[in-house]
Amino acid sequence: LRLPVRVTALINDTVGTLLARAYAAPKSATTIMGAVFGTGTNGAYIEQASRIKKLGECVIENERVMIINSEWGNFDQNLEYLPVTTFDKTVDAQSVNPGFEMFEKMVSGMYLGEILRLAFVSLLEDSRMNILEQTDIQAKSRLYESWSVDTSVLSSLQADNSLDLSVSRIRLEQTLGLEMVSYEVVRALRTIACSIGRRAARLGAVALGAVILQTDSLGRSSNSAGRVDIGVDGSLIELYPPFANEMRRALSCIEGIGLDGLTRIDIAIAKDGSGVGAALAAYIA
């Protein structure tokens, strides 16, 4: 095509987020990682070249560190460690890549709404719950359509602090075609939504914590002023307020981090990290 374009760097969104945050972070902080929690999830971090076993004898002279693209969304695809529910298995079976990206399917925004929908349909079909007697569901309700529930519904449910949960009731009527929804049904849905969001955030914290421990970042920044800095981007971070807070609480529960370690960890939004990071990569290439 003879376009006046020269490719100088090839990076993904997590590397971009890492670079963007490292550029903007205060001098007292050491940015170790860029992570995305949005439609999907992934993380990239800075590792000592001597600790990368796959390099073998290919360590580049004078290159002490390397950025690792973890692709942690595919962690434990054989489900040896991740505890899954029947709803997780259904989501996986109905996805475009069954058997892969199991961690991502439990954490990222693309799947959380569908998990909520499946859980609610399961309650409707359970005669012991009598939910159908407390709710008028239109025959063409989107509730019965796969992938019809957006993760924003979870955010709305979790953020509703009204005494009668009226905000959630209106949202359910507008988005799912539910009418005459009882307070008990809305409260049950809110509890499920909070549990799904909390699990996603805590699993996300496990990924962040694993990198912090692997890189011994808290040990290397042993002085009291030293900060461990993590750049994050994505809709779950920006538009789902409880997500980041729950992630921080979960980090404090990880052995080797704890409350003391958490006080030295900064998790900061790198707005449009992929784009800004790409520009920085092209500039320094």
pLDDT in tens, 224-271: 557 999 999 999 999 998 999 999 999 999 999 999 999 999 999 999
Q: How confident is the model at residue 136, as a pLDDT?
A: 64
Q: How confident is the model at residue 88, as a pLDDT?
A: 98
pLDDT 10s digits, 57-73: 776 677 789 999 999 99
Is pLDDT of 195 > 80? yes
pLDDT band at 51 (very low <50, low <70, confident <90, very high): confident
pTM of the model: 0.92
Is pLDDT of 282 > 60? yes
Phi-psi region of 220 (alpha: psi -120 to 50; beta: other; left: phi over 0): alpha
Average pLDDT over residues 61-88: 92
pLDDT band at 45 (very low <50, low <70, confident <90, very high): very high
pLDDT 10s digits, 233-244: 999 999 998 999
Q: How confident is the model at residue 87, as a pLDDT?
A: 98
Is pLDDT of 223 > 60? no
Is pLDDT of 138 > 70? no
The Cα 281–Cα 10 span in angstroms is 8
10 CB-near residues (< 8 Å, 6+ apart): none
Ranking 77-86, 127-136, 185-194 by mean pLDDT, the lowest is 127-136
CB of 40 closer than 8 Å to CB of 14: no
Select from 246, 245, 213, 217 the least CA-distant residue to 229.
217
Select from 187, 205, 282, 284 the least CA-distant residue to 250.
205
Average pLDDT over residues 142-146: 87
Residue-level length of the chain: 285
% the chain with pLDDT above 70: 93
The Cα 3–Cα 22 span in angstroms is 32
Strand order in the sheet with 29-37: 65-69, 41-48, 29-37, 227-233, 265-269
pLDDT band at 135 (very low <50, low <70, confident <90, very high): low
Ranking 57-61, 125-129, 140-144 by mean pLDDT, the lowest is 57-61
